[in-house]
Amino acid sequence: MGRRGVFAVTADLHLKPSHPERLEQLDYILNELREKGPRRLVIAGDLFDKGYHGYIETDKLLSKYPEIEIFIIPGNHDNKLEEGFFSTENTRVYSSPELLQLGKINCLFLPYVSGRIMGEIIEKFSERLTAYTWVLISHGDYGRLHYSSDAEENAYFPLFRVDVERYAPGKVLLGHIHNPGKIVSDANVIYPGSPFPLDRNEIGIRKYGILNEDLSFTEREINKGPVYWSESIIILPVEAERDFIKEKITELKKKIKKKSGSDIERIKLTLSCFGVTRIGREKVVHLIKSNLKEVSDLNIITDALSFSQGGSRDNIALHAAEIISRLNLPEDITVPSRETVMITAFEMIYGAH
């Protein structure tokens, strides 16, 4: 088997009539699949938001692409979804677990089930699963029980490491987490992510995935819709503070353009400023806006930015910043980030604000 795409996969569109842009994003994906292939699309849960409003419009959209097979599993938001919601022959809804073959790949479709764990259901298919040759497609959490404050949720249908080791899928594709990416400790567990950001916390360029014949996973960027971005800059109490900030903004623009290509106008940026300013927060905000006009949607946060009136504390802060910048901090969630260390140091020097 090679790197020819067998099917595309996405999840968590949360379609609803009040957000037609989400349906437009699905249209974008289907149109691209018609042009580039593959001619199969798997939707790993939460196609609809709560209430199932908008399925008639979705049905009309799917009917535009009869050449593309569409496979849908219900998620925690649309767990009552059934095949009867759709009239198109190219669309199937798997409201109960099913093992089927897509191309030459055996795929186990597990719809979301409240209060259960995936391993219990995989066990029922275990005799038909050959290690490292099959693919699990479902909607839930990996590696932990996630308890929700929502009364109708007890747990988000978790999959545990022990289940992955026991049943040995060649790849695991899960809906539920909206930001795309691989699980750091397990390269075989992947969240394709939501193709349209639902809020500013869903940062980065949106993507959908392609599973290839050799079970490798590739991604295609979606060149449509907003891109929420989050960056931060540190401001130091230097004498030429305005020039210092302008230089930081120039570096930031280069970074964003490198990551976003020519689509910087799609960026909706949240910029967190921390450190110490002599010119004041209001002037910092004005300076950033005037030097970052390419970004039309800019949210500047200055909560962690202290104000200095000069004096010896500034010298201490500059010396502390130099020491902290040289620290060799490991990239580990148990170790504070360089920014956190610096914010804490400035609070100790200037006092919490």
pLDDT at 334 over 70: no
Q: Which amino acid is at 260?
A: S
Beta-bridge partner residues of 134 = 106
What are the tens digits of pLDDT across the range 79-91? Answer: 999 988 999 999 9
Q: Rounded to 5 degrees, what angle do the CA atoms 105, 157, 188 make?
A: 40
- Same domain? 105 vs 32: yes
- Let me know whether 305 and 258 are in one domain: yes
Cβ atoms of 155 and 146 closer than 8 Å: yes
> Among 154, 158, 162, 163, which Cα is nearest to 145's?
158
pLDDT in tens, 337-346: 888 888 888 8
335 CB burial (10 A radius; 0-12, 13-18, 19+): exposed
Q: Which of 181, 202, 221 is the last residue of a domain?
A: 221
Please tell me whether residues 12 and 153 are part of one structural domain.
yes
Q: Which two tokens stand for residue 218?
A: 């590739």
Q: Using CB atoms within 10 A of its CB, is residue 293 exposed (0-12), middle (13-18) or buried (19+)?
A: exposed
Residue 159: give the domain boundaries. Answer: 5-221
Residue 155 shares a structural domain with residue 16? yes
Contact 307, 325 (CB under 8 A): no
Tally of domains within the chain: 2
Last residue of a domain, one of 221, 246, 263: 221
Cα gap 209→215, rounded to integer Å: 12
Residues 45 and 161 in one domain: yes
Residues 176/191, Cβ–Cβ less than 8 Å = yes
Q: What is the pLDDT of residues 125-181, one digit of tens each?
A: 999 999 999 999 999 999 864 444 443 444 589 999 999 999 999 999 999 999 887
Q: 42 pLDDT exceeds 90?
A: yes
pTM, two decimal places: 0.85
Q: Is 64 helix (H, G, I), strand (E, B) or coil?
A: coil
Give yes or no: residues 212 and 274 share one domain.
no
In a shared domain, residues 194 and 274 = no
Quick check: 305 and 338 in contact, CB under 8 A?
Answer: no
